[in-house]
Amino acid sequence: MRRPLAPVVTALLLVLAPTVAAAQDGVPRPPAANVVSVNPLYLPLGMFVGEYEHAIAPSATLGLSGGYYDPIGQDDGDDDRYASAEVKFRYFPGERAPRGFSIGASAGLAHFIYNNSCCTSAGDLLDNGSETAPTFGVVLDYNWLLGRNRRFFVGTGVGAKRLLGDRRDDDFFDELTVIPTVRLQVGAAF
């Protein structure tokens, strides 16, 4: 008498199913094309820096960055604040964007609000006010995508941005023309 094949096939599938499912975890997933991140170390200092980055090619990303600085806990009467918004282009020579080494450029706007806290080189106190200037900068960065699915993002970098525009008659911008930048971003890739 012939035995039905169905129970044997079912038993074999039950034994092999976990092995097949485990092998599926090793299948490379498509690389993340988007990253959203913040700098967590700045938050206790009254600063916020956030970024969004999108891979437009294997070797390039285009992104937006925004920052805000309003010092917490200062009792010295200062009411200085700073805000910026930028568009950033990054080139990844390793062609694994958004991870690995990159060199890039940024362009945007910087807005300063000051309250008698800045002085000219002659020691003259400036009036309260605000200034806005376009910026252009360069960045050198290195990004990691961590975890089994490569969805946890860590980005580091350094750079500098120059304030542009006509500042000949502006005492505030006589003292401030280049802003150094340091980047430590943590976020999610999707």
Concatenated DSSP letters of 152-165: EEEEEEEEEEEE-S
Q: What is the mean pLDDT of residues 4-8?
A: 53
The answer, as to whether pTM is greater than 0.85, is no
> Considering Cα of 170, then 65, then 144, then 90, what sign does the dihedral take?
negative
The tens digit of pLDDT for each residue in 95-131 reads 999 999 999 999 999 998 876 555 555 555 556 678 8
Tallying the residues shown for the chain, one arrives at 190
The pLDDT assigned to 46 comes to: 85
Confidence band (pLDDT; 50, 70, 90) for 16?
Answer: very low
Question: In b/e form, how buried is each residue of 30-46, taking b as 16+ CB within 10 angstroms?
Answer: eebeebebebeebeeee
5 has a pLDDT exceeding 90: no
Q: Are 62 and 33 in contact (CB under 8 A)?
A: no
Taking all residues of the chain, what is their mean pLDDT, rounded to a whole number?
81
77 has a pLDDT exceeding 80: no
- Residue 86, exposed/middle/buried by CB under 10 A (0-12, 13-18, 19+)? buried
Q: Are 178 and 161 in contact (CB under 8 A)?
A: yes
Q: Are 60 and 97 in contact (CB under 8 A)?
A: yes
Q: What is the rounded CA–CA span in Å between residue 55 and residue 63?
A: 9
The domains of the chain, with CATH numbers, are 29-189 (2.40.160.20)
Confidence band (pLDDT; 50, 70, 90) for 171?
Answer: low
Confidence band (pLDDT; 50, 70, 90) for 7?
Answer: low
Out of 49-58, 87-96, 114-123, least confident range? 114-123
CA distances in angstroms from 108 to 37, 83, 89, listed in the order given:
19, 11, 12
Q: What is the rounded CA–CA span in Å between residue 58 and residue 56?
A: 7
User: What DSSP string runs through 175-189?
Assistant: H--EEEEEEEEEEEE
For residues 118 and 153, the model is more confident at: 153
Q: What is the rounded CA–CA span in Å between residue 107 and residue 127?
A: 28
20 has a pLDDT exceeding 50: no
